[in-house]
Structure formats: structure tokens, C-alpha cells
Amino acid sequence: MTELLKVRFQDLELIARNCRSLVSVKISECELMDLIGFFSAAAALEEFCGGSFGEQPEKYSSVSFPQRLRSLGLTYMGRNEMPIVFPFASLLRRLDLLYALLDMEDHCLLIQRCPNLEVLEARNVIGDRGLEVLARCCKKLRRLRIERGADEQGMEDEEGLVSHRGLIALAQGCLELEYVAVYVSDITNASLECIGAHLKNLFDFRLVLLDREETVTDLPLDNGVRALLQGCSKLRRFALYVRQGGLTDVGLGYIGQYSPNVRWMLLGSVGDSDAGLLEFSRGCPKLQKLEMRACVFGEDALARAVLRLTSLRYLWVQGYRASVADHDLLAMARPFWNIELIPARRMVVANPVGEAVLDEHPAHILAYYSLAGQRTDFPNTVRPLEAAAALDNE
């Protein structure tokens, strides 16, 4: 029986030591040419992540990966080095391109050679065209993670961005998807409806709408979110981070109504008023962990919502409407439920060019169940609610 040994090496000397039983190796930057001997010895290797490229591209033709390799992630791999993957690309089940230096066309060229791919991690430079190639060539795909790339610095071209077009192609082509996490520059209700209509195995869906574009094609997303949640009945984890106006109180109510099995949820910039949060809290009977960012809700509504969410075990809120004394939050106090506050604050910091700018930190709430009671190792920026209330009464 092959021994499963997962390690993280920091230098070649440790890699070369006793490596014949290794099936998974993840390392930091290490010149790939220095690993030729390691790859030759590690005949059982199934997963490799790391490495780096510092030589002329033609030299890497001498690199030969183990025949059992099925999972790969090469750091700083560019277009000229990409051909070293081609000989065994059809065997790959997992591909990590988060730290690759590939543009949209490179992604398309590589992905079409990976018909057995089940897991893909990439940046949004993959673009809609990359997702269309993925939908056409990778029918076994189960997990897709698309992280935010360099778009916030304006370094990505317009084609290298993900939008509703790519999501529709993905939903229609990769029917086995179970996990989707994606940053999009544009979105429509129709794309979310398409996901709900086709991805019946989806149990984890996370979408963030970037603020790169001034206008979005189709907001609010109330009807699309409802259709997605209705169609994807296996969902256990759900995240939706949009912008103000991206989801109204009606849409927030839909999330509560159509999330009967969701246990973890992240919501950002959703809803219009406290009424939307209270309607949301009428549903979600199994919700255990809730995170809310860019929150527009007041303390009273938050406290009432927590009392309605009877399965809730953890709450984190950023940017709520804090009162002067935080007294309204006391309504959600109960045994073993610990509430911590981080008051809003402003700091003057230096920006990348050395200019002084005002950095604003909104108020936070952290609440959690603990049989061990309130912790005592608070940093200076954190106050437990009871202590905060006592200070305000002095």
C-alpha cells in the first residue's frame, strides 16, 4: 500500500531525502531544473505544487515529471514554459494556475488539453473565453475557483475578465460542478438562473461582484438569486458579495426563504433596510455561521435576527450602524453566547506613493458560542459587550 505523506519542503536537500514513498509535495520557490533528480526518484508522486523558472525556456525540455502525476501547480509558469505540461496534460485531474503568468489565450491553449480535469484554480485573467473552453472540453469538472487577479491595478485586458457570459457557458457545459467560487466584473439575473437550472450537484457557491465597472448589466439580482437557490437544492455553503443596489430587501428575503439546508453564509452589500434582514431571518433554519460585510443594518435588527436564527453558532458583522452605547445588541445576549465589539476608528496612513491618507475602519461585531466562556486575551481594539456597556454607564 502506497504511503500517503504530505510535506512542505523549503530546500532541495530535504526534498531529495527519503522521497520514494511521496505522493504529494508542495514547496516554495525552487528552480525546477534543480528538481530533475527528485522527479526521477519520486516515482509514486501524484501531486506537485511549487517550483519556479529562472532558466531559458528551452532548457526545461529536459524536465520529466513522474508518470503518476495527476495534480499540478507550477509557480510563475509563463507561455514559454507551458509546453512542459503538454505531454501529460490529458492525465491531469487537478490544475492550480493561481500563481502562473498566463494570459487568457494561454489558459485556453492549456485547458483544451486537459479533458479529464476535475479541479481548476485560476485568476480571473482566464476570462469568459477561458470558461467557454473549460465548458466545452472539461466535462468532468467538479470544483472551480477563480480568484481576483491584477484587475484592480488595471493590468488585465478587457477580454481577460469573467462575466455572466462565462458563467452561462460554464453552467451549460460542466454539469458535474459541486463547488464554484468566482469574482466577476459583470453579472445578470439570467446567468444565475442558468446556474440554478443546470448545476444540480452544487453544494458550495460563492460569487463576488467586483467594483471595476461603473455600471452592471442587470441589477438588482433578486430573481436570479431566487432561481439559483431554488434550483440548487443541495447547497450547504453560499456567499454573495455585490454592491449597494445589487440585492434589495426582497432578494434578501428570498435568500432566507430558499436556503433550507445552508449552514454557512457570507453576504456583502445586500439589502436596503432592517426590514430585509428581519425577513431573511425568518428562514435559514440550519444556518450555523453568518458573515456580513458592508452591512447597512442597525443593532436592533441584528439582535432580533440573531434570536430568530436558532441554529446560529457564529456571527461576524462589518460596517453595521452602531449606536452610541451598543445597548441594542444586549437583546441578543444569552448563556454561552459571547459578543465582542470593535468600534469604528480612523487612522492616517501612507499610501503606496508616500502620501498621507485617511484609512477608515468600520465597526465590527463578533459573536460566538463557547462553553469555556468569554476569552480574556483581547487586543486593545476589542471589547466584550458587557464590559463596553459598563464603561458607557460610568
**Is cis: bond before 220, omega within 30 of 0?**
yes
Give the per-residue pLDDT at 214. 75
Strands 364-369 and 314-318: antiparallel
Comparing 239 with 345, the larger pLDDT belongs to 239
| pTM of the model as a whole | 0.87
Q: pLDDT > 70: what percent of the chain? A: 86
Comparing 104 with 150, the larger pLDDT belongs to 104
Confirm if 209 and 243 have CB atoms less than 8 A apart.
yes
Crossing angle of helices 189-198 and 222-231, rounded to 10°? 10
**CA–CA separation, 289 and 383 (whole Å):** 21
Give the per-residue pLDDT at 150. 62
Q: How many CB atoms lie within 10 A of CB 99?
A: 16
Comparing 291 with 329, the larger pLDDT belongs to 291
Does the pLDDT value for residue 391 go beyond 80?
Answer: no
Confidence of residue 16 (pLDDT cuts 50, 70, 90): low
Comparing 363 with 227, the larger pLDDT belongs to 227
Q: What is the dihedral of CA 279, 284, 288, 294, to 10 degrees?
A: -40
**Total count of residues recorded for the chain:** 394
User: Which one, of 101, 105, 139, lies nearest residue 120 by Cα?
Assistant: 139
Give the per-residue pLDDT at 154. 41
**CA–CA separation, 120 and 340 (whole Å):** 38
User: Which one, of 40, 82, 37, lies nearest residue 57 by Cα?
Assistant: 82
Give the per-residue pLDDT at 15. 56
Confirm if 162 and 134 have CB atoms less than 8 A apart.
no
Q: At which residue does the C-alpha cell 501531486 appear? A: 47
**CA–CA separation, 147 and 145 (whole Å):** 6
Give the per-residue pLDDT at 10. 41
- Segments in the chain forming alpha helices (H): 12-15, 36-41, 104-111, 127-137, 164-173, 189-198, 222-231, 249-257, 274-280, 299-308, 385-393
pLDDT per position as a tens digit, 152-207: 444 445 567 899 999 999 999 999 999 999 999 999 999 999 999 999 999 999 99
